[in-house]
Every structure is written in structure tokens, then in C-alpha cells.
Amino acid sequence: MKIFKLHPDMDARHYPLTKEIYLEMTSRMPPYVMLESDGKMRHYAVCPACNNPVQIIGLHQQKVERAIYAKHIPKTIPRLATYRQAAYENCPLAAKSRIQAEKSARKSGNDDLAPQILHIIERHFDRIVRVLQQALGIIISPKLAQALLEDYLAEEGYRYKYASLINIPWMIGYFARAKSLVYCLVKDEVMKKSIAEHEPNVVFSGDKLDKKGKSFLHIDMYFSRHDIRPEGDAITESMDMVIVSHKNGVKKELFRKRIVFDYDSFQYLLNIPEGKGKRREDLLTIAHQILQQAG
Ligand SMILES: [Zn+2]
């Protein structure tokens, strides 16, 4: 992986992994930099997705082609992170080969991330919605946000095998049932064009998607194909957003796009200090209420 963090704590931020950033953030101090009993210096950090210890490889390699990366290691690093086998097996960033995940796949063992995922949702639901909205290219109304979260909880998305600390916004979309886009504001111009081209009974007034006349037409979006793909030393996680119309029992695909998870866009918002940045109290209240009800 090409990202790392310094602690398994709830609020720890992650950083892009470069030699400069790693040495700066760790100050070359233990428990990050350790002279081991075999006389070798080793460098450690924490996986941002699963909280397991990782080792930094290639930190002092001179050859440019051998880039620096972090890899999971199956041992506890004292005072840094405890190795948890189940969390490792469930970690998207630990994928060795391409994974085309099944929505029904549940976490093997207890990797203890579920409570932390739910805590992040409660504290940062407005930011989660913002990241998802940007990725989808549609405006997510409070009503839609609520429906997405309710579906996610009903599906126990936080127990999904590849649910991690860094892919929460996209997983909130992924576990939703099909959602109507009628009266929704569509910001993605390519999407708009494709919908209008493929479905003549749709009309846009400004960004707002509407039906022509009183036709029995449904325009829905849904998500599929969560894909985890190792590419060199990095992992690319993505899912498909699909827009379909239904009329008189006939289904037609109007648009499809592959959404690559931009972990940094979420991390950036999580890092805005308390009291700074614009928060959406309406969305935070929704998340708080739904999560309290869910217990
Ligand atoms: Zn991991």
C-alpha cells in the first residue's frame, strides 16, 4: 500500500507514503524505527484500513524503480499495533490478487472494526455524504441520505467482509437498494447527457431530472461490482454506479460509471480541525437518530 498512519486510534489520519513524509511524521523514533535483534533497522506503521501493523519496504532504496511501499506483517509491534489475523484477512489493502467481492460476503472472525466504523459514521455522516455526492455526481438530499444509511444498517454493511475504515462513504452507497432519481439534481454532465439520450421520456429542467407527462416511468440508480485490484504496490478499489429505467416491465440501462474510491478525499475532510470547516447539522442529526434507534 502507498498510505500509512501512526496509530490505530479512532481519529488517526493517514498520509501518502513517501520517504520524506514517513521520516518526518515518525521523527525516526521507536516504535516506528526499530533496531531489531538481527542487527537490521526496520520501519513500521499502521494500516489505515484495518489497524494492523505494517512494515515499510524500500525506504532507503536508491533505485528509483523500486518504490517505497508498506506491507502487512503477521506480528504485533509493541506500543504500536496488535496483529489481528481476522482483520488482516478482511482488509482490502491486503489483497494479493484481484477480488470481485460478493455483497453477501461477511467478515471472517471478529476483526473489531465494526464499532469504529459506526462511530465514524455518527461523527462524520455529513462528510461521508459530501464525498459520496462528489463521487456520484448527483446531489444527495437529506431524505436520500437517510434512506442510504437505513439500507446500509439494515444490510449490516459494517459487517461486510471488505468494509474498512477508509472506504466508508462508498460502502454507504454500495449497500443501498435501488433509489429513484426522479426530481434529483444531476451534476454529472456526461450522466445527464447519457440519460437524456437513452430515455426520451426524461426531461431535465436545469439539473433536475423529471418525467415527461404522467408516464409510469421509474429512473433508479444502484451500485454493483465492488472490485479490489492490486496494481503494483498500491490497491485500487472501485464500484459501478448504474442508472436504469423501468417502464411497463421493461428495464433499460441508461448510464454506468466506474467509481474509483478516492480515500484522500474522505481523509481530507476528517482532518479538518474541530470547529473549522462547514458542518451539516441536519445530516449529523439524522445519523445520530438512526444509529441510536439501531442501538
Ligand atoms: Zn490492512
- When pLDDT is cut at 50, 70 and 90, the band that residue 221 belongs to is very high
Rounded distance from Cα 69 to ligand 1 centre (Å): 13
Give the pLDDT score at 6: 96
Give the pLDDT score at 234: 86
pLDDT digits (tens, 9 = 90+) for 170-212: 999 999 999 999 999 999 999 999 999 999 999 999 999 999 9
Give the pLDDT score at 233: 82
Rounded distance from Cα 46 to ligand 1 centre (Å): 8
Q: Is 94 exposed, middle or buried (0-12, 13-18, 19+ CB in 10 A)?
A: buried
Rounded distance from Cα 52 to ligand 1 centre (Å): 6
pLDDT digits (tens, 9 = 90+) for 158-181: 999 999 999 999 999 999 999 999
Nearest alpha-carbon partner for 266 in 138, 164, 146: 164
Model confidence at 5: pLDDT above 90? yes
Rounded distance from Cα 54 to ligand 1 centre (Å): 8
Give the pLDDT score at 261: 97
Give the pLDDT score at 197: 97
Question: Using an 8 Å Cβ cutoff, are 111 and 86 in contact?
Answer: yes
Rounded distance from Cα 187 to ligand 1 centre (Å): 34
pLDDT digits (tens, 9 = 90+) for 232-259: 888 999 999 999 999 988 999 999 999 9
Rounded distance from Cα 268 to ligand 1 centre (Å): 20
Strand partners, 251: 246
Give the pLDDT score at 216: 87
User: What residues have a C-beta under 5 A from ligand 1, the ion?
Assistant: 47, 49-50, 91, 93
Spatial distance between the Cα atoms of 141 and 133, rounded to a whole number of angstroms: 10
Rounded distance from Cα 92 to ligand 1 centre (Å): 7
pLDDT digits (tens, 9 = 90+) for 99-149: 998 989 998 888 889 999 999 999 999 999 999 999 999 999 999 999 999
DSSP-derived 3-state class of residue 134: helix
Going from the C-alpha of 253 to that of each of 124, 197, 243, the distances in angstroms are 33, 11, 6
Identity (one letter) of the amino acid at 90? N
For residue 97, give every residue at least 6 positions away whose Cβ sits within 8 Å of its Cβ, in sequence order, or none: 230
Q: Which pairs from 143-150 meet CB under 8 Å and 24+ separation?
A: 144/179, 144/184, 145/283, 145/286, 146/286, 146/290, 147/176, 147/179, 148/172, 148/173, 148/176, 148/179, 149/121, 149/125, 149/286, 149/287, 149/290, 150/290
Q: Where are the domains of the chain?
A: 3-83, 114-294
DSSP-derived 3-state class of residue 115: helix
pLDDT digits (tens, 9 = 90+) for 33-84: 999 899 999 999 999 999 999 999 998 876 665 689 999 999 999 999 999 9
- What would the DSSP string read from start to end of 226-245? EEEEEETTEEEEEEEEEEEE
Give the pLDDT score at 214: 78
Rounded distance from Cα 164 to ligand 1 centre (Å): 8
